[in-house]
Structures are given as structure tokens and as C-alpha cells.
Amino acid sequence: MEEGFRLSIPLKESEGIPPARNKDVYIANELIRARYELKPKQIQILNFLWKEIEKDDTELKEVTFTVTEFCDWAGIDRDQGNNYRDIRNAAKGLRDKVFTLKLDGEEWDEMDVGWVWTTWVKEKSGTIKIRLDEELTKYLIGVTKRLKSAGFSKWEVFWILGLESKYSLRLYMLFQSYNYSGKDVETATDWNIPVVYEIQHLKEQLMIENFKSYENYSKFNSRVLAPAIAEINEKSDLYIEYHPDENTKTRKQYNNVVFNIREKDGAEKINAIKKTNEQLSGNPEQQHFEQPPIILKNWKSPADVEQAPETVAPDSGKKISTEELIEAIRQDDSILEKLAELFKGKEGDGGKNNE
């Protein structure tokens, strides 16, 4: 065992999310708030494609991936026998799905468009190539620059992967479309805003306005809103509270529902990351949250801590900043005693005997 002080640095929010899933997507609100119905796996595939779009891209590009790559990213057991068939059918379904976009302020009033322009497959290798419909370019390319504020949605694809219900997924994306209302992307971080929704309009967005079983608010709430929002609150970065608007009640029916949306932070968000990782990997504690101890072999005296802004843990290559050490001490004051023991008697000899 190497000599040195073994220290565990507290987890940062972003460190619990694997890099492949820690990517943002930016999408015009017209696209998110359109009326359509998609299956959960189709929403996952779209987010897989959307995450590949860079802020500086000028056109939509083809995305090629294997079924195994997609399964690993989405937390799907790669040994399931029907993965290729299921993902192939979901992609094909996106090619066949047509939805309507409102074209406010343009020559035409509406546009019927598909999600995917073309799909290619190699069955033997389980490879799929997809190109999004070119008519969606203005809704996916350069939206942060073109719309700036109040016109686009942003989220990390990680949170999409943890949601299993199609209503949870749709509502999560709809709620995110209100984050940047009147704000700039670079400054919109903390938000807690009431969003008033006409219930009939919300049903239309979810394409369930003709379901007789959802005509009554009580049933709509118990079968759609309540379970979806419970899942969002448990496994996403958002926390939603909601209630029917009493001021809009007519003939024992509510016309509006009010959602209070806020973004989680600190331990609350870390718990959500753990929940989602548990679902995706089955063992988040081992895979993402129990970081290996960091051996501060190069710190041989208190002077080293004071003079060096950072040091490298030889076993992991991780750079440890002074701020991280301070935060570790705040969470575990026994670290001070361990440091004192490590440095005991070292200041006098300059650490010559600790090579």
C-alpha cells in the first residue's frame, strides 16, 4: 500500500452522472409544446439523437450507433433477446409518426412533419443510422442564439432515462420549456415559477382529450398527473407541486391546473441521481458514488497544502483543489486530526524521511 493520506472528496452533483449521459439538449419550445404522442423508447431515441447536436452546428447530421451502444446508454440489459427488434421498430415508428406544428407569423398556418427523415439498418451488426427530418432544423439548430430567451427548452438527457411513463416524459419536457421564460440561457439556473395550464389544452398536448375515462379531473389526476409527477419528483432534477385552480371551477369541473416548478439542488438532486442510477445500473453506490480513496502522497507537510493550489493523486490522476479539501473538512472534521497525525514531526525535517 502506498504511503500517504487517504481522503474521499465529497461528491459533486455532476460527478454522479456518467459522461455519456451528462449532455444537454436545446430545443425550440414550439417543438416541445406541439401535440403528439410517443412511446418512452421513442422519446429516448430522440434524446439520443438530440444530444449529438452541438451549439455551433449549422445542419442536422446523420447519427450512427449500434443497438448495444444505445442499450448501454439507456440502461437496457444488452442481453435481452428482443433489443434489436424493439429499437428497430421504435426508430421505424418515428419515421412513420406525423405531427402538426403551428407556424405563427409565417406564410402557412400549420405544418405536418415527421420526426425522422430516413433510417438505415445493418441487421447483422445491429447498426442503425438515423437522419432527423430536415424540416425540424430551425427547431433544433442554433436555438439558443436565435431565440435567446423564452423560446427554447434545455435539459440533461440523464433525467430522461430515469422516467418510464410516457406521461412523465412528456410532462417533464413541457415543464422544462418554462425554465427560460424571459431569461437568458447563461443566467437561468434557479427558478420557481407557477405555470397555469388549461386542462383541456394539456390533454390535447398529451393526445388524450377524447378519452372518456379522463373527462373528470379527479380521474385525469389519479391516472395521469399524480403518478407522472410522483415519478418526476422522485427521479428527476425537478420538483413539482400542483393543484386545480379553484377560481376556474364551473359546474363541479376545474378548467385550469397550476403547477409550481422548482429545480432541485444539493443533496436533493444527488438523491435523485442515485435513484436514477439505481434504475439504470442496478448498483449506483458502487459504480458512481463510492469513489476510490485518494492518496495525497505528495503532501508531506502543512506547507505543501498551503503553497500548492492542487496536487495529483498518483493512483487516480485526480487533481484535488484546496477548495475541495476545505469542503471535505466541513463534512468530516476528523480529517483535521488525520492531517495533523500525518504531518506530525514533518515540519522540522522538511519531509526528508517521507520519500
Query: Tell me: the pLDDT tens digits for 67-101?
Result: 999 999 999 988 877 899 999 999 999 999 999 99
User: Could you say which of 285, 308, 340 is where a domain stops?
Assistant: 285
Q: Is residue 241 part of a domain?
A: yes
Pair 160, 297 in one domain: no
| Domain count of the fold of the chain | 2
Q: What is the pLDDT at residue 213?
A: 85
Q: What is the pLDDT at residue 202?
A: 95
Q: Is residue 5 part of a domain?
A: no
User: Could you say which of 232, 258, 285 is where a domain stops?
Assistant: 285
* Mean pLDDT on 275-279: 86
* Mean pLDDT on 230-235: 95
Q: Which residue has the higher pLDDT, 3 or 191?
A: 191
Pair 210, 344 in one domain: no
41, pLDDT greater than 80: yes
Pair 190, 257 in one domain: yes
pTM exceeds 0.75: no
Q: Is residue 138 part of a domain?
A: yes
* Mean pLDDT on 167-171: 96
146, pLDDT greater than 80: no
Q: What is the pLDDT at residue 16?
A: 67
* Secondary structure (DSSP) of 235-276: HSSEEEEEEE-GGG-BTTB--EEEEEEEE--HHHHHHHHHHH
Q: Which residues contact 31 (CB under 8 A, 6 or more apart)?
A: 101, 136, 139, 140
Residues spanned by the domain of 320: 292-354
Pair 296, 273 in one domain: no
| Nearest residue to 253 (alpha-carbon basis) of 225, 280, 216 | 216
At 18, the pLDDT band (50, 70, 90 cuts) reads confident
Pair 299, 280 in one domain: no
At 267, the pLDDT band (50, 70, 90 cuts) reads confident
Q: What is the pLDDT at residue 303?
A: 52
**CA angle 167–46–84, rounded 5-degree value:** 100
Pair 169, 262 in one domain: yes
Contact 236, 162 (CB under 8 A): yes
Contact 257, 241 (CB under 8 A): no
Q: Is residue 130 part of a domain?
A: yes
Range from 17-21, 53-57, 153-157, 200-204 that averages highest in pLDDT:
200-204
Number of Cβ within 10 Å of residue 292's Cβ equals: 11
Pair 260, 299 in one domain: no
189, pLDDT greater than 60: no
Pair 274, 306 in one domain: no
Pair 189, 88 in one domain: yes
At 254, the pLDDT band (50, 70, 90 cuts) reads very high
Pair 180, 257 in one domain: yes
Contact 125, 64 (CB under 8 A): no
At 311, the pLDDT band (50, 70, 90 cuts) reads very low
What residue has cell string 423508447? 41
Pair 84, 41 in one domain: yes
Question: How high is the mean pLDDT of the chain?
Answer: 77
Q: Is residue 238 part of a domain?
A: yes
Pair 170, 116 in one domain: yes
* Mean pLDDT on 148-173: 88
Q: Is residue 9 part of a domain?
A: no
User: Could you say which of 269, 285, 301 is where a domain stops?
Assistant: 285
At 6, the pLDDT band (50, 70, 90 cuts) reads very low
The CA dihedral of 152, 156, 157, 158, to the nearest 10 degrees, is -160
Q: Is residue 6 part of a domain?
A: no
Q: Is residue 39 part of a domain?
A: yes
